[in-house]
């Protein structure tokens, strides 16, 4: 077979492969989005009667839960990154002897099923009065955010040569100035990307929060789950799920527009000279 | 900084270990104000380690560093007033050229107007006028290198340290920037320590060369001194090409000569001080100091057979098997090789020979 033809087939093969993966990834999402505009929960491809009745039917308790979730997700994300940067700096640059140990401890929350962690937290929270409270939910979410934040910032700093800080120091900058004037701006794109991923994962945190949530402190994922268990899937549940997709996409677009698309290509790309 | 203000720099007994490995062994050195000093030595001999200790990025086990009378090794890097140029330049990628150069001034809280004035001065010095608003990534390697130099000079440091700043450049650019850097230093009279493992670079640029080997100083001297009168076997082999022949020193009526095992006798022009009659020596002859004589009645030195000839452009390398001195390499101007061919018998004379101790 001539080489040109071979290349055409190879390209075709790759195209089919990529399209298949993308379809596989997006198929369920598009189904949800489509059915949210059909006002029913039956899965059809009928597009003749699109409407927003499902969105209008979303009850107030859903909106409250969504607002609650956005709030604690944002606070947990920001707090986690603020705490992670100095901690990662100490771990990476300070050449802490405990470094290895710490890096691995950070992985531990992920080796236990979150639902088990949730039960453990409930036992603790019941004793100290944090169960079913805003603060209790935030602290629980923060533990997951911190684990992610530390991993992100550690990787970011690893990818950033120490010479930049050292150069700043030899020119008269103290450690704080080096951190604020050199490190933070260089890490900013990576931190924004990290914030995006942490925020989105916070928005859908479910298992950890399931047991410790209550009527006044109920993240949207838990709320949806409980409602579906109680009454089955309602069109407005699907509409709410769609809204979560919109929020994630909006957040992604904002970060992408601010940074330019190349920083989002890899999740923890750092900025080098 | 004018040369009057500049202060000499003194390194006293610097000692550094990494675990059990001794990286610097009681290194002492006086650097004169305004001089261009080069640390030359093979990879791993401790050049970077020394620079880092002087800049405060690494701590020594013992020893002191002085600027004039003032001891500075107790200060943090930010208070030593040293300009450091890293091998990869480490220009801040998120700042413009201008902001990079102004960084040290900003840290010293210079008024904005003076900062701007100084930055322009530095841009002119390194011939980058009009490029102040570019980002480092918009500059070529040679331009980045000059920004790094300007940034290190801008705040009038007491000492500028350059760690192999040319090693990232291609050969042709390296030659250009080499002379540039030398000229910039001549204009600024900035006390400068330059690190390289490239001996040509060291010979071309330096007022003095510090030749290092395994954490110790092997020899200190002018480029000419290091080239013509190396003090040790290491120096003789490391700086420039050389032929080393084992021999014994003979001193007769104040005249020094080398006598080899096969009883060939060569007059020595220079001998490392302290060598006495009968001492074991290496006779060192530079390739360009070996003259090849063809034709009859020509041999006041020894005879040799031509093994191979390597054309290099302006010169030709001639590999020889000499009758009493083993294999030698001569470097002959290309226009003088007519009549020499591989396999031929020739006579040799030595224009200059030098002796270093042999242990
Ligand atoms: N952090 C370290 N830990 C252990 N050994 C080190 C460390 N830094 C340097 N060394 C060792 O100290 C010696 C001197 O290193 P140094 O970096 O000063 O060499 P150099 O002269 O700059 O060489 P090069 O020309 O390759 O840059 C080397 O043998 C090196 O392996
Ligand atoms: Mg080095």
B77–chain A Cβ distance below 8 A for any pair: yes
- On whether the CB atoms of residues B249 and B279 are closer than 8 A, the answer is yes
The pLDDT score that the predictor gives to residue B188 is 83
Q: Is B311 in the pocket of ligand 1 (CB under 6 A)?
A: no
Length of chain B: 359
* Residue A5 scores a pLDDT above 90: no
Taking the CA of residue B87 as reference, the ligand 1 atom at the shortest distance is: 27
**Residue whose CA is closest, atom 30 of ligand 1?**
B44
List of domains in chain B: 9-228 (3.40.50.300), 241-357 (2.40.50.100)
The pLDDT score that the predictor gives to residue A271 is 41
Cβ-proximal residues to B59 (8 Å cutoff; 6+ apart), any chain = B53
- Residue A106 exposed, middle or buried by CB count within 10 Å (0-12, 13-18, 19+): buried
- pLDDT tens per residue across span A204-238: 999 889 988 888 788 999 999 999 999 888 889 99
B contacts of A183 (beta carbons < 8 Å): none
Length of chain A: 273
Which member of B83, B93, B103 has the closest CB to residue A272?
B93
Q: What angle do CA B18, B22, B23 make, to 5 degrees?
A: 80
Taking the CA of residue B51 as reference, the ligand 1 atom at the shortest distance is: 18
Q: Is B197 in the pocket of ligand 1 (CB under 6 A)?
A: yes
Nearest to B287 by CA among B356, B198, B351: B351
In the beta sheet, which residues pair with residue B303?
B347
* Residue A269 scores a pLDDT above 60: no
**How distant is the Cα of B148 from the closest Cα of chain A, in angstroms?**
10
Read off the tokens for A116: 């088990």
| Distances B206 to B197, B201, B222, B257 between C-alpha atoms, Å | 13, 8, 8, 32
- Whole-angstrom distance, CA of residue B57 vs CA of residue B161: 12
Nearest to A112 by CA among A144, A70, A78: A144
The pLDDT score that the predictor gives to residue B261 is 82
CATH of range A57-272; options 3.40.50.300, 3.40.250.10, 3.40.50.970, 1.10.3720.10: 1.10.3720.10
Nearest to A35 by CA among A27, A227, A21, A204: A27
Interchain pair A170, B93: CB under 8 A: no
Half-sphere exposure of B180 (CA within 13 A, CB side): 20
pTM of the predicted protein model: 0.79
B240–chain A Cβ distance below 8 A for any pair: no
Cβ-proximal residues to B39 (8 Å cutoff; 6+ apart), any chain = B47, B50, B51, B193, B194, B195, B196, B210, B212
Q: Where are the domains of chain A?
A: 57-272
* Residue B87 scores a pLDDT above 50: yes
The pLDDT score that the predictor gives to residue B315 is 93
pLDDT category at B66 given cuts 50, 70, 90 is very high
Q: Is B23 in the pocket of ligand 1 (CB under 6 A)?
A: yes
Taking the CA of residue B45 as reference, the ligand 1 atom at the shortest distance is: 21
A8: number of Cβ within 10 Å: 11
- Whole-angstrom distance, CA of residue A194 vs CA of residue A153: 8
- pLDDT tens per residue across span B263-310: 888 999 999 998 989 999 999 999 999 999 887 555 556 789 999 999
A95–chain B Cβ distance below 8 A for any pair: no
Distance from the first to the final alpha carbon of chain B:
46
Nearest to B348 by CA among B304, B286, B288: B304
Which bin fits B59, alpha (ψ -120 to 50), beta or left (φ > 0)? beta
- pLDDT tens per residue across span B164-219: 988 877 888 888 888 888 888 888 888 999 999 888 999 999 999 999 999 999 99
Q: Is B59 in the pocket of ligand 1 (CB under 6 A)?
A: no
Token pair 């291609």 is at which residue?
Answer: B170
pLDDT category at A108 given cuts 50, 70, 90 is confident
Worst-scoring range by mean pLDDT, A18-32, A103-117, B81-95? A103-117
- Whole-angstrom distance, CA of residue B198 vs CA of residue B165: 12
Each as own residue / partner, the long-range contacts of residues A124-131 (CB below 8 Å, 24 or more positions apart, any chain) are A125/A212, A130/A212, A131/A212, A131/A214
The pLDDT score that the predictor gives to residue A272 is 37
Cβ-proximal residues to B77 (8 Å cutoff; 6+ apart), any chain = A166, A169, A170, B55, B56, B57
């Amino acid at each position: 077979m001539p080489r040109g033809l071979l290349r055409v087939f190879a390209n075709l093969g790759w195209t089919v492969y990529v399209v298949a993966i993308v379809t596989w990834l997006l198929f369920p999402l598009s189904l949800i989005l489509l059915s949210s505009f059909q006002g029913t929960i039956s899965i059809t491809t009928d597009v003749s009667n699109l409407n927003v009745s499902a969105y209008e039917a979303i009850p107030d308790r859903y909106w409250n839960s969504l607002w609650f979730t956005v709030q604690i997700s944002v606070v947990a994300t920001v707090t986690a990154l603020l705490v992670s940067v100095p901690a990662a700096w100490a771990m990476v640059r300070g050449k802490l002897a405990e470094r290895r140990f710490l890096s691995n401890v950070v992985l531990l929350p992920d080796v236990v099923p979150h639902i088990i962690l949730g039960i453990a937290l409930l036992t603790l929270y019941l004793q100290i009065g944090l169960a079913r409270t805003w603060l209790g939910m935030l602290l629980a979410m923060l533990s997951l955010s911190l684990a992610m934040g530390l991993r992100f910032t550690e990787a970011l700093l690893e990818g950033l040569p120490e010479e930049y800080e050292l150069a700043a120091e030899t020119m008269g900058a103290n450690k704080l100035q080096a951190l604020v004037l050199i490190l933070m701006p260089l890490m900013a794109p990576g931190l924004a990307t990290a914030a995006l991923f942490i925020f989105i994962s916070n928005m859908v945190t479910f298992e950890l929060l399931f047991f410790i949530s209550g009527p006044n402190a109920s993240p949207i994922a838990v709320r949806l789950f409980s409602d579906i268990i109680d009454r089955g899937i309602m069109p407005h549940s699907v509409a709410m799920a769609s809204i979560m997709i919109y929020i994630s996409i909006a957040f992604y677009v904002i970060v992408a527009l601010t940074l330019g698309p190349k920083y989002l290509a890899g999740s923890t790309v750092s900025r080098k000279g | 900084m004018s040369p009057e203000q500049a202060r000499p720099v003194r390194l006293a007994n610097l000692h550094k270990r990494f675990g059990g490995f001794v990286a610097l062994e009681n290194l002492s050195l006086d650097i004169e104000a305004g001089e261009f000093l080069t640390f030359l030595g093979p990879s791993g001999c401790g050049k970077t380690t020394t620079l880092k200790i002087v800049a405060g990025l690494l701590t020594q086990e013992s020893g002191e560093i002085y600027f004039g009378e003032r001891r500075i090794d107790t200060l943090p890097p930010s208070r030593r007033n040293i300009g450091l140029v890293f091998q990869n330049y480490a220009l801040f990628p998120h700042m413009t050229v201008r902001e990079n150069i102004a960084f040290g001034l900003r840290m010293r809280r210079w008024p904005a107007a003076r900062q701007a004035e100084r930055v322009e001065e530095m841009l002119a010095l390194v011939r980058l006028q009009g490029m102040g608003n570019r980002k480092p990534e918009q500059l070529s390697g040679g331009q980045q290198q000059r920004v790094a130099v300007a940034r290190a000079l801008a705040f009038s440091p007491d000492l500028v340290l350059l760690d192999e700043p040319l090693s990232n450049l291609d050969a042709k650019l390296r030659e250009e920037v080499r002379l540039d850097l030398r000229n910039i230093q001549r204009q600024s009279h900035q006390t400068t320590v330059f690190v390289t493992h490239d001996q040509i670079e060291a010979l071309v640029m330096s007022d003095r060369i510090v030749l290092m080997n395994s954490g110790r100083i092997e020899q200190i001297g002018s480029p000419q001194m290091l080239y013509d009168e190396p003090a040790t076997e290491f120096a003789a082999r490391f700086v420039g090409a050389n032929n080393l022949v084992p021999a014994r020193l003979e001193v007769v009526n104040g005249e020094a000569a080398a006598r080899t095992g096969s009883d060939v006798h060569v007059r020595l022009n220079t001998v490392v001080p302290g060598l006495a009659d009968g001492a074991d020596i290496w006779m060192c002859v530079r390739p360009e100091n070996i003259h090849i004589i063809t034709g009859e009645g020509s041999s006041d030195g020894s005879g040799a057979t031509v093994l191979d000839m390597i054309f290099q452009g302006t010169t030709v390398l001639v590999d020889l098997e000499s009758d009493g001195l083993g294999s030698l390499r001569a470097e002959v101007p290309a226009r003088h090789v007519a009549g020499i061919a591989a396999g031929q018998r020739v006579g040799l004379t030595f224009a200059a020979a030098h002796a270093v101790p042999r242990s």
